[in-house]
Amino acid sequence: MKVNEIFFSIQGESSSIGLPTIFVRFTGCNLRCTYCDTKYSYFEGDPDTPQGIMEKIRNYPIKRVCLTGGEPLIQPRSEMQELLDLLYAEQYEVSIETDGSVDISKVKLHNKQRFILDMKVPSSGMSEKMDFENLKRIIPERDEIKFVVGNREDYEWSVQLIREHGLDPRKGYRLIFSPIFGEISPRDLVEWILADHLDARFQVQLHKIIWDPQQRGV
């Protein structure tokens, strides 16, 4: 496995927003989104093992971990599974931020582990690379589906996808909408959601409000 950084901060996104979290950012990504804010993770990093990563995680007192990137699911499958097994054995809560293009069935999740499926919208330039079968692989009551929106077209694409695939919150689906930082007014996105009576969670990237948007390790 190749790790870009391991750090302790608050979760800036997802249903765990605001909670203290240990982040493991892996090196490498199979996509090149136009609005990517972690380009430094494309290549920078050092080799490590699941056991080595666990040793670093244990340095922090919180039992909440986010595996992110880059794209964590392009790491060696057996090693990623070993890491998930180790985290489960020590009763960590785990979220895996994945970009929507990689088959999430590559790894088996345990109790208190979930995917955050970040479906890439048209303005990302990567929407055609999505593995839409992942929308059938997720477990509604466990996993989350995130749409990071940069304009009206992105929003309408997302809503159409939700309707076409029957991602109804009444069936347990957990939907998140977030504005691309600096590209769209948060108010506009909120008003679109309300006008459509869309039962989805709105959020901003909290860490970019607390710290400089370009700051690493937060």
DSSP 11-35: --SSTTTTSEEEEEEES--S---TT
* Residue 35 annotated as binding site: yes
Determine the Cα–Cα distance for residues 1 and 47; give it in Å rounded to an integer: 6
User: Per the annotation, does 12 bind a ligand?
Assistant: yes
Whether residue 11 is annotated as binding a ligand: the answer is yes
Asked whether 37 and 213 are in contact (CB, 8 A), the reply is yes
- The annotation status of 25 as a binding-site residue, yes or no, is yes
Q: Is 81 helix (H, G, I), strand (E, B) or coil?
A: helix
Residue 33 annotated as lining a ligand binding site: yes
Hey, what are 183's tokens? Answer: 């590209």
Say if CB 95 and CB 116 are below 8 A apart: yes
Q: Residue ranges for the binding site for S-adenosyl-L-methionine?
A: 35-37, 70
Annotated binding residues for [4Fe-4S] cluster: 29, 33, 36
Q: Which residue positions form the known binding site?
A: 10-12, 25, 29, 33, 35-38, 68, 70
Q: State the binding site for substrate.
A: 10-12, 25, 68
Summarize the annotated binding site for Mg(2+) as residue ranges. 38
